[in-house]
Structure 1
Amino acid sequence: MPKQYGIKDRDRAAAWVMERLFDGRLRSGDKLDRQRIADEVGISRVPVQEMLGQLERDGIVRSEYHRAARLEPFDPDAVHETYELFGLVTGHAAAAAALAMTAGLANELSALVAEMRDANKERFNELTWEFRRLVNTAASGPRMRAMLSTFRTFMPTAYTLLLDRPGNRAAILRHYRGECRALTKGDSAGARRAAESRCADEAEMLLTELVRRGVFEHAAQRGRRG
């Protein structure tokens, strides 16, 4: 894997794992070979170990002392759970941002949403992440930011898959327009609902895409694990 300057080796290793998880080359319970990852990414084993620690905190990997690291279950239930939790956290951040709204922030958010309409996939990705960054930092404390950081390995890869479909981008844009309206009006409850609704829809979009790609057999409704 070519060197990507400005990106931490730990994050490059995480991207290697997530890419293979989302295209089906890695499956639930698969062992993660530290040396193989280091060799293929072109880094030492130290950042690989750091990456595995991060993925374990994020609920993607499990490991035991002196034993192999293995992938946690990755199935429709895991996708639903991840997006439910992401919706709760981002919804809380949006609600707080609405209460702390300023004219300057409202103008920034509105400009981002306006540009999304004609943006290509790459630019749309940049605009929506900048929107989220502004909202998440507007009123969030250190604990909220720490909670949001637990999604930083899963969500970027998942989101990139969603944006491959123009129809998905159109649906996501509708959610951002609704959230932006609520935020700029200082409507805390409305901003929370919009963020949670977007996350719920993105979960279904991702499941549809993973079924289409053959990673999952079907997008089952969420059930309880035994």
Structure 2
Amino acid sequence: MRPNLPVEVADRLRRDIFSGRLRPGERIDQDAEAAALGVSRVPIREALIALDREGLVDIVPRHGVFVWSFGPEDLADQYEVFGLVSGLAAERAAQNLTDDELANLRAVHAEMSVSRDGERLELLNERFHMIINRASGSRRLAWLVRFLSGSVPRGYEAGGWQIANRHHATIIERLGARDAEGAGRAMRDHIRQSGEHALGVLAESGIWKA
């Protein structure tokens, strides 16, 4: 088994949960998921344990694994916490970011501004935030941001990548000015608006309809 296979499976299941393919409260058929992904039950089981730690599934002994029965209020709370922690990381980064890290951040932003490849944009977006989180100077804080990012939907940047890039430009501007308060505020606004956009899209998809 590839070392990162459970991570790949968890990512796929996470997307299926937030897309509505696996609906809130639904029992997950591990055999069916293993067959669909062409893997054994071992990486499925390990992935579900990881998702249980994230709060996205509930493992009920002798009954099975069920998708977390989350509603819009639950997701809004998670985005709020995610934004608060991400804002703190940005505040710390404004004080610690090196010139090389700032240059890397600008290079990532420049590529994001011209790319039209969805998968590439998601990868670049992760890199953008990773640079900031690592520059916070706190491994624990960076880990917490990474953990929380797994508990919210991906690919729902605030109103689309064009708007997200404008948010990123503001964040870079505040980081470059070593404005900790401004960087934190810009990051919190970015996460909040991304959350509002995600909630709107998910509601329209009918994920919470009975």
- For the pair 1:12 / 2:4, whether they are aligned, the reply is no
Map of 2:174 onto structure 1: 182
The share of aligned pairs that are identical, in percent, is: 28
* 1:132 correspondence with 2:129: yes
- Work out the CA distance in 2 between the residues paired with 1:70 and 1:39: 18
Tell me how far 1:185 sits from its aligned partner.
Answer: 1.2
Query: Which residue number corresponds to residue 221 of structure 1?
Result: none
Aligned length, in residue pairs: 208
Is 1:196 matched with 2:192? no
Residue 21 of structure 1 corresponds to which residue in structure 2? 17
Amino acid at match of 1:133: M
| Residue 160 of structure 2: aligned partner | 168
Q: Distance in 2 between matches of 1:29 and 1:100?
A: 43
Corresponding residue to 2:138 among 137, 141, 158: 141
Moved more, 207-216 or 176-185: 207-216
Q: Shift of residue 106 of structure 1?
A: 1.7
Q: Give TM-score scaled by structure 1 length.
A: 0.82
CA positional deviation for 1:98: 0.7
Match of 1:159 among 148, 154, 165: 154
Gap change, CA 1:202 and 1:6, over 3 Å in 2: farther
Give the corresponding residue for 2:64: 68
Q: What code does the residue aligned with 1:159 have?
A: R
CA distance in 1, matches of 2:17, 2:25: 11
- CA offsets per residue over residues 100-124 of structure 1, 9 Å max, x none? 0222122221222233222214333
1:151–1:196 CA distance, 2 compared to 1 (3 A): same
* Residue 37 (structure 2) pairs with residue 41 (structure 1): yes
Tell me if the contact between 1:13 and 1:37 (Cα under 8 Å) persists in the aligned partners.
no
Q: CA deviation at 1:7?
A: 7.7
In the alignment, which of 72, 75, 84 is matched to residue 88 of structure 1? 84
The aligned amino acid for 2:108 is L
CA distance in 1, matches of 2:141, 2:50: 17
Task: Please provide the CA RMSD for this pair.
Answer: 2.3
* SS in structure 2 at match of 1:31: coil
DSSP-derived class of the 1:132 partner: helix
* 1:152 Cα deviation from its structure 2 partner: 4.9
Instruction: Verify the 8 A CA contact 2:14 2:51 in the aligned structure 1.
Output: no
Residue 21 to residue 111, structure 1, CA distance change in 2 (3 Å): same
Q: 1:114 to 1:212 in 2, by over 3 A?
A: same
Q: What amino acid is the match of 1:177?
A: A
Runs of 4+ aligned residues of structure 1 deviating over 4 Å after TM superposition are none
2:97 match: secondary structure: coil
Q: TM-score, normalised by structure 2?
A: 0.87
C-alpha distance 88-113 of structure 1, shift in aligned 2 (>3 A): same
Distance 1:9 1:117 in 2: 31
